[in-house]
Structure 1
Amino acid sequence: MGQAAGTLVIGGGVVGKACALALRRAGETVLLLDPQSLSRPASYGNAGHIAVEQVEPLASPAALASAFGRLFLLGGALDFRLADVAAWGPWAARYMRASTPEGAAHGKRVLSNLLQDALPAWRRLAASLDRPDLLIERGHVVVWESQDTARSGLEAWRAADIGQARLRPLSDPLARRLGQSIDVPIAGGAQFENTGQVRDPALVLRLLDEAFAALGGQRRIGRAVRLLNIEGRVEVLLEDGERLAPERVLVAGGVGSGALMRDLGHVAPVIAERGYHLEGGAGRWGDLPPVVFEDRSLILTRFGDRLRAASFVEFGRESSPPDPRKWSRLRRHLSELGVRMEGPIAEWMGARPTLPDYLPAIGVSRRADNLYYAFGHQHLGLTLAAVTSEWVAALMGRAIPAVDLIPLDLERFARPSDLRKRNAA
């Protein structure tokens, strides 16, 4: 059995890497266990958008009521892999139970608190990496292609809680710049301020790795396959058969975190919510902030001389093969918009870790003395990565985090009878 560093961080995405760096900066001896899988994490393939406007929870009566009209077979972005129904079926039942008016109101209060410091935390992280240019703060744009959807879409956004973001109609200069990049007319648009994007998600991951290594943090390529409870403390079994006994363990491994936490009896109903992107040379796409074509559930983000088109909410197993129809649909959207990517076009698919109430799980395990967790950030993994690392560093340093983490306790998914039994024991 191997003796790991003081703190073992399980996870190779942006949340895990940011937490590992924050803990090392706090003086902890840290080993980052990075699976380095061939399918790069959702942190790599996302739209790069710091989405502080997404305060309205996706577990709500409104989202549930609109689900049918958003199905992939009807031209939308929502899909469920039939072969994976055993994975997403129980999750969907929990999601429906969470999608009540009371649940949505609770989710909005919690997300509002979580997102309040997300953008300032990114400023602090970028500055600490000596790369203030890593964060680009020029907002983003949402556009519609018909008068009806423009009217209803703008009304919906005006009625929504968008937290620290600000909303105004799309300016004429920005509309003209967008018009030079596409061939279809835009019926209306909205311009969001106080949101942002990262310069490049892959660059973020690399800079986090480099800063962690420069401070003496250790990184190991490997995969945790099981957590073992040995007299109230967690040990970690690796894929190669080695067993590690660290002083403390932080599980920040995305979708795979659910199986690890269930080893200890936690109820951790995380599902793989898979997204797809195409990326190629930017061509004639202008120097624009991220643009959401809301009628198509499509976002286009420029990273230097590259352009990324991202979409889809596909529920299934993380390990299931990708669906080529998704990339074909993306190509069709780009063709219809007149957006031409240059050079080789890369295809990517990755899985967001999503819990049924669309809130992350961040806290301390009550089933092992040395176990902490931070996963399940759904579409907000990149957005909340910097501030999550600050909360985790405070939590593991026995300080009081700047936000109330009680609503994010994983025990919220346990049945009342299970809690009574455990408390009685």
Structure 2
Amino acid sequence: MAAIGPTVGIVGGGVVGLCCALALLDRGHAVSVFERDADYNAASWGNAGHIAVEQVEPLASPAALRSVRKRLFGVGGALALPPSMAAHWLPFAARLVAASTPSRFAAGTAALTPLLAGAMPAWRALVETLGARDLLREDGHVVVWDTPLQAQTGRERWSRTAIGTARIADAEPALLDRLGFLADPVGGAIRFTGSGQIDDLRRLALTLEAAVEARGGRIVRQDVRLADDDGRIVIAGHKVDRVLVTAGVRSRALLEPLGYRVPMIAERGYHIRARADGWPADLPPLVFEDRSMIVTRYADCVQAASFVELGDPDGPPDPRKWARLEHHVRALGLPIEGPFTRWMGARPTLPDYLLAIGRSTRRANLYYAFGHQHLGLTLAPVTAQLVAALMTGEQQPLLRPFDLNRFGKKGRHV
């Protein structure tokens, strides 16, 4: 398609940036995607692969605050607040508490619900467009508990939770039989339907990049700097009409020098991977809720992932996190054998656990889409549709709760 719209420079080539590039190219824009990472180590390509349509309730909530003590890493939980990174997470924690009132939680749930309702249809449309329908699996996922008491508590909690378009039922006996490889009998399990999984994250990355280039877009392996040029944002060394920031956790460093307040933190997650020889090929993702761990079978490997570690995106990883994942694998009797590959990546998380999607009110050519926390993979195609419509002048009322102006201007107390 010949470009008829403005030229767009997209800063950040993760799953959100690449989906936005495709949507804009399909609307006639000329697009360049600037991405410094050529090794596919970002959170977009190391996550659990889960299309989490059920996660309509933001994690900034009264219930989450009440559960902090029992979720801390030191007592066996998944939440890590490293003392060496307190300068990062203490200000974030204060804003998180302020965002976790009942009224703001209800408003956040209402804001996320329509976006997540469109997530699976948007993914279906995207893989169809890519000619790669097998990238998307719609087998739901399974939540498992160690004991009957934990299972009863977990079922009751999920029955009170808003889960959008997903549905829950007790896991069928045939599925429980397939979990016979576990070291101990399952205390209980439920099956979610309506959720999904990406079959291979690396292939997704390569397929998206190839589609961008096939439509005339460019992938530029380069770090970039944004600057203000008489009220317009420019990418130093490149001529574009509009700039779209989709740089995940790096978006803060790009925008705050320009005067925007972006109170985002690196919410670091860890995974281990091993060969998939012993894992059933058609088993949906398993969530071991008592251990805050999700196990996903990809095309050629099995991955166990966990942890919410708040801190510095560039700080050194904590090997204890990987060791605990390996301990869980052994204790559960999972048919996963090393050697394990280890990964740590940073989710881009704002204190209200809502996204930042919109257009700057101060620089008319600046757009942004980041802060997707645990929902980057899930909401990437939906985000792309909204951004593309916004750039073509269509009103997008669904985006009002995600305006970056909700945090005020840099230098002012919020």
* 1:42 corresponding residue in structure 2: 43
Q: List per-residue Cα deviations over 1:388-411 (Å, max 9, x = no partner).
A: 11111111111234x610110000
Contact 2:259 2:409 in 1 (8 A): no
Does the alignment pair 1:384 with 2:383? no
Q: List per-residue Cα deviations over 1:37-91 (Å, max 9, x = no partner).
A: 6571101111100000011110001001101110000000000121111112111
Does the alignment pair 1:349 with 2:344? yes
Secondary structure of the structure 1 residue equivalent to 2:183: coil
Q: Give, as a single letter, the amino acid of the residue that structure 2 aligns with 1:29.
A: A
1:80 and 1:355 mapped to 2: Cα distance?
A: 16
Note the residue ranges of structure 2 that are not aligned, 5 or more in a row. Answer: 1-5
Contact 1:277 1:311 in 2 (8 A): yes
* 1:284 corresponding residue in structure 2: 278
Report 1:85-164 matches (<5 A).
85-164=86-165
- In the TM superposition, residue 227 of structure 1 has moved relative to its aligned partner by 2.2
Which of residues 314, 319, 327 is equivalent to 1:319? 314
* 2:290 corresponding residue in structure 1: 295
Contact 1:264 1:367 in 2 (8 A): no
1:417 and 1:198 mapped to 2: Cα distance?
A: 41
Secondary structure of the structure 2 residue equivalent to 1:123: helix
* 2:194 corresponding residue in structure 1: 194
1:148 and 1:57 mapped to 2: Cα distance?
A: 26
* 2:234 corresponding residue in structure 1: 235
- In the TM superposition, residue 369 of structure 1 has moved relative to its aligned partner by 1.7
Does the alignment pair 1:204 with 2:204? yes
Contact 1:20 1:212 in 2 (8 A): yes
Q: Give, as a single letter, the amino acid of the residue that structure 2 aligns with 1:71.
A: L
* 2:3 corresponding residue in structure 1: none
* 2:217 corresponding residue in structure 1: 217
Q: Give, as a single letter, the amino acid of the residue that structure 2 aligns with 1:220.
A: V
Q: List per-residue Cα deviations over 1:294-346 (Å, max 9, x = no partner).
A: 00000000012310100000011110011100000000000001114245421
Note the residue ranges of structure 1 that are not aligned, 5 or more in a row. Answer: 238-242, 421-425
Q: Which runs of 4+ in 1 moved over 4 A?
A: 415-420
- In the TM superposition, residue 418 of structure 1 has moved relative to its aligned partner by 5.4
Which of residues 253, 263, 268 is equivalent to 2:247? 253
* 1:362 corresponding residue in structure 2: 357
Q: Give, as a single letter, the amino acid of the residue that structure 2 aligns with 1:129.
A: L
Q: Give, as a single letter, the amino acid of the residue that structure 2 aligns with 1:24.
A: L
- In the TM superposition, residue 416 of structure 1 has moved relative to its aligned partner by 12
Contact 1:39 1:349 in 2 (8 A): no
Greater mean deviation of Cα atoms: 31-40 or 305-314: 31-40
Does the alignment pair 1:330 with 2:329? no
Q: Give, as a single letter, the amino acid of the residue that structure 1 aligns with 2:406.
A: R
TM-score (norm: length of structure 1): 0.93
Does the alignment pair 1:83 with 2:78? no
Q: List per-residue Cα deviations over 1:109-163 (Å, max 9, x = no partner).
A: 0111211100100000000001111110011000100122111100000111100
Secondary structure of the structure 2 residue equivalent to 1:284: coil
Contact 1:39 1:350 in 2 (8 A): no
Secondary structure of the structure 2 residue equivalent to 1:274: strand
Contact 2:38 2:221 in 1 (8 A): no
- In the TM superposition, residue 25 of structure 1 has moved relative to its aligned partner by 1.4
User: Percent of aligned pairs with the same residue?
Assistant: 50
TM-score (norm: length of structure 2): 0.95
Q: Give, as a single letter, the amino acid of the residue that structure 1 aligns with 2:63.
A: A
Q: Give, as a single letter, the amino acid of the residue that structure 1 aligns with 2:291.
A: R
1:26 and 1:204 mapped to 2: Cα distance?
A: 22
- In the TM superposition, residue 188 of structure 1 has moved relative to its aligned partner by 0.5
